[in-house]
Structure 1
Amino acid sequence: MLESLTLTNFKAFAHQELRLAPFTLLTGLNSSGKSSVLQALALLRQSNESGDLAPIGGSEAGLLLNEELVQLGTGQDVRYEFYDETGPHITLALRGDGSAVQWSAVYEQEADHLKLLPDKERESGAPAQQLPTLFGPGFQYLKADRVSPQVSYPRSHHAVSTRGFLGAQGEHTVNYLRAHQDDPVETSDLLGPAAASATLLGQTEAWMQRLCPGVSLEAADIHGTDTVRLSYRFGHGVDRSNRYRPTNVGFGLTYVLPIVVACLSAEPGTLILLENPEAHLHPQGQTWMAYLASAAAARGAQIIMETHSDHVLNGLRLRVKNGPLKTEQTAVHYFRRNGQTSEVVNPVIGPDGRLSDWPEGFFDEWENSLDQLLD
């Protein structure tokens, strides 16, 4: 498991260390640095996948700013404008999996491949291969701008079978579900009788029914093409509806499907990065997204989630109060701007689900509105 991430001269941060837990929640106002945390991890992942962190032959090691997971621009876009007193280099450091590794990249304003300082000049406790949580199989990163409801979705054996990857926008989710629908999945006591089937498809339907009662789904090939289709039905037995394509069903169902599949298919020791899983969901569904992510964390996956939803926060608090998570298995980071930089406050969820601190701006809009209504 990853235990901490330290950012130096990266985007909105001069220097910031963050504790990482089995379930880490990132929240705060817009443009306060939350997404930068996920982007830093995704940047390291894509640089490693491309071979840039440990290149073979005469190529130089570096951070690859623009690839499948993130497209960050050039050095000018990713370096903190008022760089740290230690110098202009951009440094990302990780501790976890029994290792402590640091990468320092030389700043070049127009470069989209930032060269890393030679090994002898940077602190490195272990090679990247010793951070399996980030660099091993099972990694998922689902952005806020996930794929919208479509008539068909791409079919890629390499993505879903070789890599087990849903796509940064969830574009491979339907094909992954088609290929792995009969895979066994540990059932959750949260679902009660709804968890009748222990397959990926059965569990996916059970969780989706928490969002839309009576819904079922099918992921199948489109004959003669390299695409797959998703369809929904509603009701049971003789009252069961015809099949509907995603474009004729509420936006939220398809938008949340990658989140559900990612959490259900997560193996122990894997890392799941989630941006705004609550998007397009009713408040009750937002709370259930926290329950689902908590269940994945309790099974041994590591979840790092960015959210603007107090329902997601409260869902996590309830899972600490009622189980299966303990307070030390959670980390809450509240990001806020302080002049030209970002700072982080760290409220702690106690065993009773209560928070140790409510800093100004931290999910206090309801109280502010209520004060005005009662004035």
Structure 2
Amino acid sequence: MLENIGITNFKAFARQDIALAPFTLLTGLNSSGKSTVLQSLALLRQSHEAGLLDDVDDSGGFLLNGGLVQLGTGQDVRHESYTEDDPDITLAVTTGQTRYQWRTRYGREGDLLSLLDAPADSAPRAHHLSSLFGHGFQYLKADRIGPDVSYPRSHDAAVRRSFLGARGEHTVNFLRAHQDDTITASSLRRPDAPSTSLREATDHWMQRLCPGVNIETVDIPGTDSVRLSYGFGSGVSASNRYRPTNVGFGLTYALPIVVACVSAQPGSLILLENPEAHLHPQGQTWLAYLAVAAVSAGAQIIMETHSDHVLNGLRIAVKNSRIPAASVAVHFFRRNGQTSEVISPSMSGDGMLSDWPKGFFDEWESSLEQLLD
């Protein structure tokens, strides 16, 4: 499990260390640095997949534009208040009390920032950072797939790598290929389900968002595409099948989030941006319960959210002993001049927070005060 991420001169941060837990919740105002944390980890993963994190010379470095993130050039990612004494960009992660650090040379126009130093031995990195660099990694951006008539079929992504795609574009094909896989974690299965399959578990959690819904994924013969359909009810009361374009936007938008959590394995690392988008408040609370269930199955989740329903769902899960308070980290981001700062209230076993800084999910109280004035 990742225990900490260190960021120097990268995007919103001049220098910042952020503690990570099995379930880490990132929140705050827009453009305050939340996405920077997720993008930092995705950038390391992207650069590792390209084979660029081992060589300290012009052939290695941070690959700014790739399949996970597209960050532009050096001038787009270096923090604006850097000092001449420390102009370089550094990312570091800690696991097992060992810190692994990569420092890169700033290049204004380049989209490959050359490594100045890196961990000396790649073998410990591959072993101890398996959640970041190995199988089971998922990163789902806020800009995810929407309703469509078909979705891409990629054996490499969905079958060989079990990757849903940064936009969730391989989710439908992943479900088609893995729908009969057994879900072993009891926290992710329907308690009275006749089957322990991925499809059954996916339906179970999707029904928390939309009661009665069920999913079907099939090949489109003669093409490299697959089709998704929704049905409602079962047995004699079952509806016709509906294509996603004729069903509410939120279901398809949330589907990659649900599948990422349901399919999580021990040691998985799942990065989620705004999973609550387009969902009713009740569904947002259930997404928090789903993420807690994935953590109980052994995954690590880092989630960026603007939803107080997600936060409160997490707090209720702690109070109801679904997850220990010690397994939760909550970070509130806010701008302070040219840089961002992080406030990290602790959570007690009853779901209460030690601090409630200004701007931290206090809009309801502010609005209520104005209404009652």
Task: Please classify the TM superposition score into its range, dividing by the shorter chain length.
Answer: over 0.9
TM-fit CA distance, 1:328: 1.1
Match for 2:356 among 358, 361, 364?
Answer: 358
Alignment correspondent of 2:255: 257
CA distance in 1, matches of 2:208, 2:189: 9
The 5 A counterparts of 1:216-365 are: 216-365=214-363
Rate the CA distance shift 1:79–1:281 in 2: closer, same or farther, 3 A: same
Alignment correspondent of 2:40: 40
Alignment correspondent of 1:185: 183
Retained in 1: the 8 A contact 2:185–2:297? Answer: no
Paired residue type of 1:20 = L
Retained in 2: the 8 A contact 1:46–1:69? Answer: yes
Alignment correspondent of 1:136: 134
Q: Give per-residue Cα distances to partners, 1:152-185, cap 9 Å, x unaligned.
A: 0000000011111000000000000000000011
Q: Secondary structure at the match of 2:144?
A: coil
Structure 2's unaligned 5+ residue stretches are none
CA distance in 2, matches of 1:124, 1:355: 41
Retained in 1: the 8 A contact 2:58–2:115? Answer: no
Work out whether 1:69 is the aligned partner of 2:68. yes
Paired residue type of 1:75 = G
The 5 A counterparts of 1:74-93 are: 74-84=73-83, 86-93=85-92
CA distance in 2, matches of 1:253, 1:235: 16
CA distance in 2, matches of 1:161, 1:97: 31
Q: Give per-residue Cα distances to partners, 1:280-317, cap 9 Å, x unaligned.
A: 00000000000000111111100000000000000111
Paired residue type of 2:8 = T
CA distance in 2, matches of 1:141, 1:55: 25
TM-fit CA distance, 1:128: 3.1
TM-score by length of 2: 0.96
CA distance in 1, matches of 2:93, 2:124: 11
TM-fit CA distance, 1:55: 4.6
Retained in 1: the 8 A contact 2:183–2:189? Answer: no
Alignment correspondent of 1:159: 157
TM-fit CA distance, 1:124: 7.9
Greater shift in the superposed pair: 126-135 or 211-220: 126-135
Retained in 2: the 8 A contact 1:336–1:342? Answer: yes
CA distance in 2, matches of 1:281, 1:131: 33
TM-fit CA distance, 1:194: 5.8
CA distance in 2, matches of 1:86, 1:19: 26
CA distance in 2, matches of 1:181, 1:315: 28
Paired residue type of 2:20 = L
Work out whether 1:369 is the aligned partner of 2:347. no
TM-fit CA distance, 1:237: 1.7
The 5 A counterparts of 1:183-222 are: 183-186=181-184, 188=186, 193=191, 195-222=193-220
Retained in 2: the 8 A contact 1:153–1:172? Answer: yes
TM-fit CA distance, 1:59: 5.7
CA distance in 2, matches of 1:101, 1:247: 45
TM-fit CA distance, 1:99: 3.0
Rate the CA distance shift 1:91–1:124 in 2: closer, same or farther, 3 A: farther
Retained in 1: the 8 A contact 2:271–2:301? Answer: yes
Alignment correspondent of 1:30: 30
Paired residue type of 2:142 = A
Alignment correspondent of 1:16: 16
Retained in 2: the 8 A contact 1:159–1:165? Answer: yes
TM-fit CA distance, 1:52: 0.7
TM-fit CA distance, 1:84: 4.4
Q: Give per-residue Cα distances to partners, 1:62-91, cap 9 Å, x unaligned.
A: 000000000000001111011047410001
Retained in 2: the 8 A contact 1:99–1:131? Answer: no
TM-fit CA distance, 1:118: 3.9
Rate the CA distance shift 1:194–1:247 in 2: closer, same or farther, 3 A: farther
Q: Secondary structure at the match of 2:3?
A: strand
Identity of aligned residues (%): 67
CA distance in 1, matches of 2:45, 2:81: 26
Q: Give per-residue Cα distances to partners, 1:312-342, cap 9 Å, x unaligned.
A: 0001111111122111101000000011110
CA distance in 2, matches of 1:355, 1:13: 25
The 5 A counterparts of 1:82-161 are: 82-84=81-83, 86-97=85-96, 99-119=98-118, 128-129=125-126, 130-161=128-159
Paired residue type of 1:297 = V
Paired residue type of 1:33 = G
CA distance in 2, matches of 1:200, 1:17: 37
Rate the CA distance shift 1:314–1:339 in 2: closer, same or farther, 3 A: same
TM-fit CA distance, 1:236: 2.0
Q: Give per-residue Cα distances to partners, 1:212-237, cap 9 Å, x unaligned.
A: 11111101101111100000111222
